[in-house]
């Protein structure tokens, strides 16, 4: 109970301190295939009936390298995007898959001032849609470790399938790929087949950071977006 109180107190105190200033920053992440997904693939690789798939899967799980992404924030607003540079070879299957599962061309927008969390997707359906992000319910733990000089605590959701390490020292409830709602910035995130690691943290840079709510897309609810995607899948693949 004492440790929980310490975390809450630290978060409350630092929130007041940071809130008094024009708190802004840029967090750079790198994502790669996580060890769990790689180990699972290696265990079943030799049992695959279609051996022709192995070279392709090797590119995805073993040789994909890493993908860069950025979380920019200021005054309670933030935007997470995957870098869209030409260094991702379109002929490199592993890089293309890794970029997609890291967030692809989506924009993840956060606004703590009015509790708006949005996702803009222009890839999946050939036109742009903007929809609400999912509410995330986290389970906090007292397990901790040091990441980039910051003490980070472990949190999980979805029955432990998503693991985040956040630091109350940076009282910003945002993270990679639309993850939010923790009492501190997410420095490491393991979700699906990928793991994100913060590689550079720049707080209150000299340059002005501007965050704009996503525009240029059809605004729908999460449920409406899912229905649209399901219909599109059926039209292509059938029932």
Torsion sign (Cα): 186, 31, 45, 236: positive
pLDDT category at 236 given cuts 50, 70, 90 is: low
Work out the pLDDT band at 224, boundaries 50, 70, 90: very high
Say how far apart CA 12 and CA 54 lie, in whole Å: 51
Residue 239 within a domain: no
Looking at residue 133, the DSSP 8-state letter turns out to be: P
Q: What pairs with residue 54 in β-bridges?
A: none
Q: Which residue has the tokens 């995957």?
A: 82
Contact 30, 67 (CB under 8 A): yes
Question: Does a structural domain hold residue 49?
Answer: yes
Q: Any idea which residue has 């525009």 for tokens?
A: 215
Q: How many residues does the chain have?
A: 239
pLDDT at 6 over 60: no
Confidence of residue 37 (pLDDT cuts 50, 70, 90): confident
* Structural domain contains residue 168: yes
Q: Is pLDDT above 50 for 4?
A: no
Rounded distance, CA 194 to CA 189, Å? 8
Kindly give the pairing relationship between strand 129-132 and strand 218-220.
parallel
- For position 21, what pLDDT does the model report? 45
User: How confident is the model at residue 89, as a pLDDT?
Assistant: 58
- Domain count along the chain: 1
Q: What is the pLDDT of residues 123-146, one digit of tens each?
A: 878 889 999 999 999 999 999 999
The answer to whether position 110 is within a domain reads yes
pTM, two decimals, is 0.84
- pLDDT reading at 153 higher than 60: yes
Name the average pLDDT for the chain: 86
The reported pLDDT for the residue numbered 88 is: 52
- Per residue in 69-123, pLDDT (tens digit) is 999 999 999 999 998 764 555 557 888 889 999 999 999 999 999 999 999 999 8
C-alpha separations of 130 from 56, 123, 217, 222, 228 in Å: 33, 12, 6, 9, 12
CATH number of the domain within which 122 lies: 2.50.20
Given a contact cutoff of 8 angstroms between Cβ atoms, the answer to whether 28 and 198 are in contact is: yes
* pLDDT recorded at residue 3: 45
Residue with tokens 């898959």: 97
Q: Which residues span the domain enclosing 65? A: 2-234
User: Do residues 140 and 210 touch, judged by C-beta distance below 8 A?
Assistant: no
Burial of 171 per CB tally in 10 Å (0-12, 13-18, 19+):
buried
């Amino acid at each position: 109970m004492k440790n929980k109180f310490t975390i809450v107190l630290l978060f409350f105190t630092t929130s007041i301190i940071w809130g008094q200033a024009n708190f802004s920053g840029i967090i750079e992440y790198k994502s790669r295939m996580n060890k769990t997904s790689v180990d699972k693939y290696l265990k079943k690789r030799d049992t695959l009936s279609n051996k022709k798939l192995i070279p392709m899967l090797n590119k995805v799980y073993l040789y994909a390298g890493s993908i860069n992404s950025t979380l920019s924030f200021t005054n309670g607003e933030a935007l997470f995007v995957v870098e869209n540079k030409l260094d991702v070879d379109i002929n490199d299957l592993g890089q293309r898959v890794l970029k997609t599962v890291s967030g692809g061309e989506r924009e993840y927008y956060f606004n703590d001032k009015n509790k708006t969390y949005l996702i803009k997707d222009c890839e999946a359906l050939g036109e742009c849609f903007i929809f609400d992000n999912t509410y995330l319910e986290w389970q906090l733990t007292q397990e901790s470790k040091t990441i980039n000089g910051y003490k980070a605590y472990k949190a999980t959701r979805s029955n432990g399938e998503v693991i985040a390490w956040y630091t109350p020292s940076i009282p910003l409830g945002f993270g990679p790929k639309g993850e939010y709602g923790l009492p501190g910035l997410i420095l490491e995130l393991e979700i699906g087949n990928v793991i994100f690691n913060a590689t550079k943290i720049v707080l209150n840079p000299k340059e002005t950071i501007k965050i704009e709510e996503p525009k240029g897309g059809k605004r729908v609810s999460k449920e409406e977006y899912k229905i649209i995607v399901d219909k599109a899948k059926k039209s292509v693949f059938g029932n």
